[in-house]
Chains A and B, each alone.
Chain A
Amino acid sequence: MSRHEPIGPQGLRQDGRRADQLRNINCKPSVLSQSDGSSYIEQGYTKCLAAVYGPRETRQKAQILHNKALITVEISLAPFSMSERKKRKKFDKRLLEIASAVKQTFEPIIMTNLFPRSQIDIFLQILQYDGGMTQICINAATLALIDAGIPMLEYVCACSAGIVEDTTILDLNNSEESLGIPELTVALLPQSQKVTLLQLETRLHVDKLESVTAMAIKGAKEVYKKLDKTSRDYIGDLLQKSNPT
């Protein structure tokens, strides 16, 4: 079997993971000084910083929504984040598309009706990219929104899954994505078990859809555990610091 096969003879993937294994997730809330909430998350070699500003006064009068808050999402990609250096324009169409997917994912979850006529900005900066742009953006934004203390109905956790022959695999990296493996990204509300985002950009047989979706949901639940533990630990630390007795 050639080394370009996505799954080797021992059932391990190119980067040594099992089929149903997530990449290692490291995350930390509250890493920036100027924003109201921020977070850093890395999933394998994909690394992302998120900053949240607001709720605050809407900057452009024409955009004011009188019954709820306006949410904006902006994604930037560092020029050195991919293997080939590429200076992306700020308004790259692909990034705009992902930004609007992130925005639509969060709009029903953030309790925007509490802040009429105001604005919440979510900025995402990808520092290093190795696959899974949409999912890391959603996960980073969730953590930053929690850090900013913005009321949300529940967490949003995203994960991707794909299928190679008959094996479903979890959390594709860039080299797996570039092999043309069908990739499905799911954003899950872990408490109500609802799916708020579902994205599939290649062809996938209907019979396989269910198992791939189930795999992505399973991954998203793991992400939830990690995010929940991180934010609980962080809040616990803060409490301890403010109340040493």
Chain B
Amino acid sequence: MSSSLISPSELDYIIRGVDDNLRADGRGRLDYREVILETGLIFQANGSARCRLSKGTDVLVGVKVEIGSIEIDGTDEEVAAVKAKRGRVVCNVECSPIASQQFAGRGADDINNELTQLVDRVLNGPQGGLNLEKLCIIPGEECWVVYIDALVLDYGGNILDLIFMTIRAALYNTRVPKTVIEEDKEVEISDDVEEWERIEGWELVPISITLNKIGTRHIVDATVLEELATKAKLSVMVNKNGKICGIQKIGGGSIEHGLLNEMMQTGRSIGQNLILNLDKMLQKEDEINAERAKNDKIGFFAAA
């Protein structure tokens, strides 16, 4: 495919630039692009957010919460007892063909599946941060199911990191309706929006930092061309407390053992800083949203 070709001279330029700590867009090896964040853009969803990395990658996430039945599979009683008291998170990642020509037709099937599985695994386990027990309505019968749908709108490299960031922002924006259980086990949903609550534990939802090994060094937040020059990728999932919640090595190349440790540590510290910055932006977003509501300004490209 034409989009995934890189010339030897371009490759050489990128590798040397990384070596000199100066990348094509002026960043150093460990500098992130500017993150542009918007929340609450989709009124049909319980929560939504859109993040953009300067003028490149763009991800939109919609979160919907719906009442579903608790599914207990497997015969292990202990597992079943835990599952009976829990809600569920269902993740889905889709790369739209508008983002890049390589996603046209069935071209995105593999990457969609890979990303969906990864995100689902991280968010559904104990490391995911969300308090799933709070999502249970009637133990063993009904619970809230949180559907997280991420849509990649523009492809400028580093989609995985941005997907996690956007999901976290969308969960911050999500409100779950209050429920009252009536005598005959009918679930009544409160219409009072003021009473709706955030999902507990959203702040502990991890984000991912992907480190790209180029030459003998590694960089964060790679652009499309830099990704083509990447030998191996390591994605480190970090939460607010600096705990590592998952590691995934992606790509064909290999990473030396010594470098692996270094990359993990870099990922962890960058991730923690990034979360702090994102949280500051999210707090501001509440004020901005109030302002937008006053001006009746609805629109995706109001911020960018």
Contacts and interface: CB of A to CB of B under 8 A. Distances in A.
B100 interface: yes
Residue of B97, B98, B154, B156 most packed against chain A (CB within 10 A):
B98
A83 B94 CA distance: 19
A219 B226 CA distance: 47
Interface in A3-49: 26, 28, 31-35, 38, 40, 42, 45, 47, 49
Residue of B45, B92, B97 most packed against chain A (CB within 10 A):
B97
Contacts of A49: 96, 98, 153
Contact of A81 (B44, B298, B300): B44
Contacts of A28: 301
A184 to B, nearest CB: 26
A34 B155 contact: yes
Residue of A35, A49, A82 most packed against chain B (CB within 10 A):
A49
Interface in B225-248: none
Interface string A93-122: 000000000000000000000000000010
Given A31-B301, A49-B98, A50-B98, A78 B92 contact: no
Interface string B132-166: 00000000000000010101011110000000000
Interface string B35-67: 000000011110010000001101010111010
A49 B299 CA distance: 12
Nearest to A28: B301
B104 interface: yes
A168 interface: no
A87 interface: yes
Nearest to B48: A80
Contacts of B63: 80
Contact of A80 (B55, B56, B62, B155): B62
A33 B225 CA distance: 13
B99 interface: yes
Interface of B: 2-3, 42-45, 48, 55-56, 58, 60, 62-64, 66, 92, 94, 96-101, 104-106, 147, 149, 151, 153-156, 224, 298-301, 304
Given A26-B299, A40-B300, A87-B149, 7 more contacts: A33-B55, A33-B154, A76-B94, A80-B44, A80-B45, A82-B44, A128-B42
Interface of A: 26, 28, 31-35, 38, 40, 42, 45, 47, 49-51, 53, 56, 74, 76, 78-83, 85, 87, 90, 121, 123-125, 127-128
